[in-house]
Structure formats: structure tokens, C-alpha cells
């Protein structure tokens, strides 16, 4: 798996048609076994974003201070890729006259 920088959201543009993106916040920690020291608390919350296209996998870690910048870049990428969707025409319903 390739770990990328936060600014490389444009790599997801290559996965335009058949991609799978999964965010992980990392707050679910496993419970340590009996006799093991407890896991240290993180100083800053981070988010791991993974993407998969066929056999290629990429991932990036987003720090708490960079979430807004990443979210704006990712949402603009998603909005730009909505060009293949067609607007559906709703059939007109006939009202019954009473």
C-alpha cells in the first residue's frame, strides 16, 4: 500500500469510475491483553483514508489541523466527477377529480 501526502487527492481522480474509498478515524483501539501495558493516548486525532482500485491500494493520514483543507479538496473532486449522472424525469401523476 502506498502512503501519500494529504495534497495528493488528485490521485483519486484516476480512480474516477471504479473506486472504493473508506475513512478510518482510528479511535477504536483494541483492548490490551492482561499483563501488557495500556496503549498510549494520542496527542492529536488523525484520520486514515484508504482507496482501492482493482489491485492498487493507496492511503493517506490526515491530521486534525488539515481536515478542512482535505475535505474541500475531496468534495470538489467528487463534485467534478458527477458528470456521468443523468437527471431522471418524474412522471406526472394524475389527480382524481372529486
Cα distance between residue 78 and residue 71, in whole Å: 10
pLDDT at 81 exceeding the cut of 80: no
The answer to whether 88 and 41 are in contact (CB under 8 A) is no
CATH number for the domain spanning 63: value is 3.30.720.10
1 pLDDT band (50/70/90 cuts)? low
DSSP 8-state secondary structure symbol assigned to residue 13 = G
Task: Confirm whether 12 is domain-assigned.
Answer: yes
What pLDDT digit, counting tens, does each position of 10-68 carry? 656 666 555 666 666 666 666 777 888 877 777 888 888 888 878 888 888 888 898 89
Task: Confirm whether 97 is domain-assigned.
Answer: no
User: What's the confidence (pLDDT) of residue 2?
Assistant: 65
User: What's the confidence (pLDDT) of residue 45?
Assistant: 83
Q: pTM of the predicted model, to two decimals?
A: 0.49
Domain holding 57, by residue range, is: 2-27+45-82
Picking from 20, 30, 15, 28, the residue whose alpha carbon sits closest to that of residue 81 is: 15
Task: Confirm whether 94 is domain-assigned.
Answer: no
Cα distance between residue 19 and residue 78, in whole Å: 12
DSSP assignment of 57-86 equals EEEEEEEGGGHHHHHHHHHHHHHHTGGG--
Total domain count, the chain: 1
Task: Confirm whether 22 is domain-assigned.
Answer: yes
Amino acid at each position: 500500500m502506498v502512503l501519500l501526502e494529504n495534497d495528493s487527492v488528485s490521485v483519486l481522480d484516476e480512480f474516477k469510475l471504479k473506486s472504493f474509498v473508506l475513512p478510518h478515524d482510528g479511535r477504536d483501539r483494541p483492548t490490551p491483553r492482561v499483563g501488557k501495558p495500556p496503549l498510549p493516548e494520542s496527542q492529536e486525532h488523525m484520520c486514515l483514508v484508504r482507496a482501492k482500485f482493482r489491485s492498487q491500494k493507496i492511503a493517506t493520514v490526515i491530521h486534525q489541523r488539515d481536515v478542512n483543507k482535505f475535505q474541500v479538496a475531496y468534495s470538489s473532486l467528487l463534485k467534478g466527477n458527477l458528470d456521468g449522472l443523468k437527471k431522471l424525469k418524474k412522471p406526472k401523476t394524475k389527480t382524481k377529480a372529486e
